[in-house]
A and B are shown apart, each in its own frame.
Chain A
Amino acid sequence: MSLDFNDETFRNDFTFKNSPKAIKRFPFPFPEDSYMYSVNMEPHVPGPKGSVFEHMFDVDEHYVAEMRDRAQVLADDPLRCQSLPHMELAGWDLLELIMESKARDYPQWFELHKNGNHWHWINRPLQIEQKFTFMDPTTLPCGPMEYITRQTQGDFTLQDQRDENLWVEAGMVTTQADWSLDFDIGMNFHQWHAPVPKAHEMGVFDRALKFLLKLQHGAPVRRFNWTMTVDPLLDTSPENYPKWGPGKTTMTPETIGSRQHLRVELQTLHRLPRSNAIAFPIRCYLIRFEELVTVPKWGRRLHRVIRDIPDELATYKGFLRNKPLMVDYLAQFDDGAPTSPGFWAD
C-alpha cells in the first residue's frame, strides 16, 4: 500500500484511525451550537484547498481500505448493489461524471483517455487498468454503476425523475446509516423518507422535492447529515443489525472516547445529462470522540448539540441510550467559552 493510503480495517480488529491531517479536514457538520432539520442545501462548488470540498469527489487516506471493505460487503450480500433495467443509462452518466472528475482532480492517481467511445481508465491506487467501450456494458466486468462505485468512496443512489417525483431505482449501498437499498428500491421521494420524524410537519420534504425536481445539470448541490456509530463500522445496515446493534449496550465511561464515533455524511446531488436522472452520492466520514475533541471548538460545540437535542431525534438517530454517557464525556471538553460561527476549526 502506498504512503498516501492507510492500511486499516472497518470490522473485526477495527484498526481505522484518522491522521492529524484527516482530523483537521474532517467535515464537522454543525455550524452553530444547536441542531434541527432544515433543507440545508448549498451549491456544491469547490471549497478551500485541502478541505473535503476541494474536489467534486473527495479521495482521502481511507480510500483503498474503504474499497476493500465494500468488496467484502458485496461478497457477503450481492443485493447491496442493484439497478433496475431502465437505470443503466444513468449508470453510464455516473461512470462518466466520476471518471472525468477524478482524472481531472487527481491526475497522480487516475487517468482517463478517450478515443470516441473507446475509453481507457487507469486507477493506480487500486491497480486497475481497463479498456472498454462507453455505453457497451459487455466490455466491463459488471454494470457501469457497479463498476465505478466499486472504485469510489461513499454510497450512491440513482433517482429516476418522472410524474413529478423522484424514484430510487439503482444504488450501491454498503456504508449506510441503518437503511436498506434492497428494502427501499422502487420507492418515491416521500416513501423512502417516511421514517424521518418531525420533518414532515415542517414541510421539509415537499420543499426539498420541489427544489430537486428543478436541479440543473452543471449546478450540483450538497448538504450534511450525521448520526452516531459505535466502533468504526462503515456497514451499519439493517441487514446486519444483529452484528452491530448490541455494541451500543457495551459502552462504558472508559471506552466512550475511543469507541464512540461521530458519523457525518456529505451528501451531494447531481443532475445527470443523458438520463435526466439524479445521482445522490452519500459519503461517510467517521471520527472517534477522542480525535474530535483535539479540536477545542468542536469538543465544546458537540457537547452542546448532543446535550440539547430532542429525545425524538436522538431516538431516530439511534443513540438515545448512550446520550447521557456522551454528554458526560464531552462535558469535560466544554469550558463554556463562546464558539465562533461556522463549522471550520479555529
Chain B
Amino acid sequence: MSVGAPKIPVVVTEVVQVNDLIKRFRFQRRDGDAMPTFSGGAHVVVEMDDHGTRRMNPYSLMSAPSDTSGYEISVRRDDVGRGGSLYMHTHVQPGMEMVLSHPVNLFPLDNRAKKHLMIAGGIGITPFVAQMAQLQAMGGRFELHYSMRSPALGAYAQVLKAHYDDRVHLYYDEEKQFIDLKNLLKGQPLGTHLYVCGPKGMIAWVRATATEMGWPALSVHSEEFLAPPVGKAFEVQLAASGKTITVAPNQSLLEAMEANGVEAPYLCRGGACGQCETEVHRCDGHIDHNDHWLTDEQKASNTKIMPCVSRFAGAALVIDR
C-alpha cells in the first residue's frame, strides 16, 4: 500500500472455527456502509495491535466479490510463526474493532481465458473461493482441483463440492489421492489458463510440469505469500532518515522501520509485489533474500533488498530509507 492510501475501519462480526487449524473471520464496516466490491484473488492487509507490536498480515478475501455487506478471510494457525496468525486465533473476537486495507489483487484471473483451471493446496483454497463465485456469476468456465491432508482438515471442501458439483475435484493425502497433473494438463482446451495457490513445493511442481509440457509461461499464474521468517536480531542504518534501527528476531525490517516512524511503501508484505524494493548503499555481510521479486543477479549483487521478508547478518547494512 502506498503511504496514505485509504483504509477501512471495520468491526469483527463473526469468528468461526472451521477445523483444528483454521478460523474464518467476517468483517463489516463500522459506519455500516458497503464494502468496495473486489476482484477474485484480491487480498487485504489486516492491521493488528499485538500487545504493542504492530502486525500487518495479508490474507486473501474468500467471500463473494459481489457481497458488499462484509469481507471474509480464513487464517491457518501457525504455531511456530511470528505470531500474526496466533494473534488472530487467540485474541480476535466478535465485536473487536480492526483496520483493513482496500483490496489489492496480485493474483487476478486473466479474463481472456477460455477456461480457468485452478489447483489449490491446503489454505491456498481461499482466493479460489472468491474467484469461483465471481466466475459463476459471470458464466465463466472453471474447474478446481483441491488437494488437502485429510477430510477433517479440508476447509470448505464439502461446501464447494456441493455447490459446484463436478467442477470441483477433491484429493486427500491421507487416502493416497493425488492430482494426476500430467493427464489433467494434457486434456485442457486451447486458451486455458492455469492458476496455482498452495505450499511452495506444490507451486514449483505445477509450474515445472506445465513448462515441461509446453504450456506458455504467461498462461500459468501462481500466488505464494511468504510469512516474514524469524531470525536473529540485526542492525540497519537508514540513510535517508538518518536513523539506525534494530530489527528484532520476530520482526521484519519493514515492521522495524514502521515502528521507528519511517514509512515505506508496501502492498503485499510477503515478498511478491515489489512495492517495498529498497536500494542498498552498503552491505558488509550477508543478506538473506527471502523474496520472489528480485532477480538472481540482483540478489547476488546485494544492491537491493525487500524489507518485508529479507534479513541480514554481518557488520553493516546501509539502505536508502
Provide the bound-state CA to CA distance between A214 and B272, in Å: 12
Q: Name the distance in Å between B111's Cβ and chain A's nearest Cβ.
A: 4
Contacts of A162 in B (CB 8 A): 108, 110, 218
On whether the beta carbons of A89 and B2 are closer than 8 Å, the reply is no
Q: Name the distance in Å between B306's Cβ and chain A's nearest Cβ.
A: 14
Contacts of B104 in A (CB 8 A): 216-217
Instruction: Determine if B259 is an interface residue (Cβ-Cβ < 8 Å).
Output: no
Instruction: Determine if A161 is an interface residue (Cβ-Cβ < 8 Å).
Output: yes
Provide the bound-state CA to CA distance between A160 and B39, in Å: 13
Provide the bound-state CA to CA distance between A135 and B134, in Å: 12
A275 partner, pick from B2, B5, B111, beta carbons under 8 A:
B111
Contacts of A216 in B (CB 8 A): 1-2, 5, 102, 104, 267
Per-position binary interface string of chain A over residues 154-190, scored 1 when its CB falls under 8 Å from any chain B CB and 0 otherwise: 0000001111000000000000000000000000000
On whether the beta carbons of A89 and B111 are closer than 8 Å, the reply is yes
Provide the bound-state CA to CA distance between A275 and B140, in Å: 13
- Known contacts being A273-B39, A276-B39, is A219 close to B6, with CB within 8 Å? yes
Instruction: Determine if A243 is an interface residue (Cβ-Cβ < 8 Å).
Output: no
Instruction: Determine if B275 is an interface residue (Cβ-Cβ < 8 Å).
Output: yes
Q: Which 8 A-B pairs give the minimum distances between C-beta atoms?
A: A86-B111, A276-B39, A273-B37, A218-B102, A276-B108, A218-B6, A86-B112, A219-B5
Instruction: Determine if B251 is an interface residue (Cβ-Cβ < 8 Å).
Output: no
- What total of chain A residues lie within 8 Å of the partner, measured CB to CB? 19
Contacts of B218 in A (CB 8 A): 162-163
On whether the beta carbons of A161 and B108 are closer than 8 Å, the reply is yes
B103 partner, pick from A160, A217, A275, beta carbons under 8 A:
A217
Provide the bound-state CA to CA distance between A275 and B36, in Å: 13
On whether the beta carbons of A89 and B138 are closer than 8 Å, the reply is yes
B38 partner, pick from A86, A210, A214, A274, beta carbons under 8 A:
A274
Contacts of B112 in A (CB 8 A): 86
Q: Name the distance in Å between B30's Cβ and chain A's nearest Cβ.
A: 16
Instruction: Determine if B127 is an interface residue (Cβ-Cβ < 8 Å).
Output: no
A273 partner, pick from B5, B38, B138, beta carbons under 8 A:
B38
Per-position binary interface string of chain B over residues 84-111, scored 1 when its CB falls under 8 Å from any chain A CB and 0 otherwise: 0000000000000000001111001011
Residue in A closest to B217 when the chains form the complex, CB atoms: A163
Residue in A closest to B221 when the chains form the complex, CB atoms: A162
Per-position binary interface string of chain A over residues 215-242, scored 1 when its CB falls under 8 Å from any chain B CB and 0 otherwise: 0111100000000000000000000000
A-B contacts, CB under 8 A, total: 56
- What total of chain B residues lie within 8 Å of the partner, measured CB to CB? 27
On whether the beta carbons of B102 and A219 are closer than 8 Å, the reply is yes
What are 30 residue pairs bridging A and B, where the CB atoms are less than 8 Å apart in the complex? A43-B4, A86-B111, A87-B111, A89-B111, A135-B137, A160-B111, A162-B108, A162-B110, A163-B218, A210-B274, A214-B273, A216-B2, A216-B102, A216-B267, A217-B36, A217-B38, A217-B102, A218-B102, A219-B4, A219-B5, A219-B102, A273-B37, A273-B38, A273-B39, A273-B65, A274-B65, A274-B134, A275-B111, A276-B42, A276-B108
Chain B interface, >50% SS class: loop
Residue in A closest to B37 when the chains form the complex, CB atoms: A273
Contacts of A86 in B (CB 8 A): 111-112
Provide the bound-state CA to CA distance between A280 and B183, in Å: 43
Query: Which of chain A's residues 103-136 have a Cβ closer than 8 Å to chain B?
Result: 135
Per-position binary interface string of chain B over residues 16-53, scored 1 when its CB falls under 8 Å from any chain A CB and 0 otherwise: 00000000000000000000111100100000000000
Provide the bound-state CA to CA distance between A87 and B138, in Å: 13
Q: A135-B138, A162-B108, A275-B39 are in contact. List 5 more A-B contacts (CB 8 A).
A: A162-B218, A163-B218, A217-B103, A218-B5, A275-B111
On whether the beta carbons of A219 and B2 are closer than 8 Å, the reply is yes
Residue in A closest to B109 when the chains form the complex, CB atoms: A276
Per-position binary interface string of chain A over residues 69-95, scored 1 when its CB falls under 8 Å from any chain B CB and 0 otherwise: 000000000000000001101000000
Provide the bound-state CA to CA distance between A43 and B103, in Å: 18
Per-position binary interface string of chain A over residues 42-81, scored 1 when its CB falls under 8 Å from any chain B CB and 0 otherwise: 0100000000000000000000000000000000000000
Per-position binary interface string of chain B over residues 120-151, scored 1 when its CB falls under 8 Å from any chain A CB and 0 otherwise: 00000000000000100110000000000000
Provide the bound-state CA to CA distance between A274 and B267, in Å: 18
On whether the beta carbons of B39 and A274 are closer than 8 Å, the reply is yes
Contacts of B267 in A (CB 8 A): 214, 216
Provide the bound-state CA to CA distance between A135 and B6, in Å: 27
Q: Name the distance in Å between B128's Cβ and chain A's nearest Cβ.
A: 16
Q: Name the distance in Å between A144's Cβ and chain B's nearest Cβ.
A: 13
Q: Name the distance in Å between A279's Cβ and chain B's nearest Cβ.
A: 14
Provide the bound-state CA to CA distance between A210 and B4, in Å: 18
Provide the bound-state CA to CA distance between A86 and B38, in Å: 17
Per-position binary interface string of chain A over residues 173-214, scored 1 when its CB falls under 8 Å from any chain B CB and 0 otherwise: 000000000000000000000000000000000000010001
Provide the bound-state CA to CA distance between A258 and B62, in Å: 59
Residue in B closest to A90 when the chains form the complex, CB atoms: B111
Q: Name the distance in Å between B216's Cβ and chain A's nearest Cβ.
A: 11
Q: Name the distance in Å between A169's Cβ and chain B's nearest Cβ.
A: 9
Provide the bound-state CA to CA distance between A31 and B104, in Å: 33
Contacts of B275 in A (CB 8 A): 214
Provide the bound-state CA to CA distance between A218 and B100, in Å: 13
On whether the beta carbons of A218 and B111 are closer than 8 Å, the reply is no
Provide the bound-state CA to CA distance between A274 and B134, in Å: 9
Contacts of A43 in B (CB 8 A): 4
Contacts of B134 in A (CB 8 A): 274
Provide the bound-state CA to CA distance between A89 and B111, in Å: 9
Provide the bound-state CA to CA distance between A210 and B37, in Å: 24
Query: Which of chain A's residues 242-278 have a Cβ closer than 8 Å to chain B?
Result: 273-276
Contacts of A276 in B (CB 8 A): 39, 42, 105, 108
Q: Name the distance in Å between A74's Cβ and chain B's nearest Cβ.
A: 25
Q: Name the distance in Å between B135's Cβ and chain A's nearest Cβ.
A: 11
Provide the bound-state CA to CA distance between A144 and B38, in Å: 18
Identify which of A160, A210, A219, A274 gathers the most chain B CB atoms within 10 Å of its CB. Answer: A274
Q: Name the distance in Å between A86's Cβ and chain B's nearest Cβ.
A: 4
Contacts of B39 in A (CB 8 A): 273-276
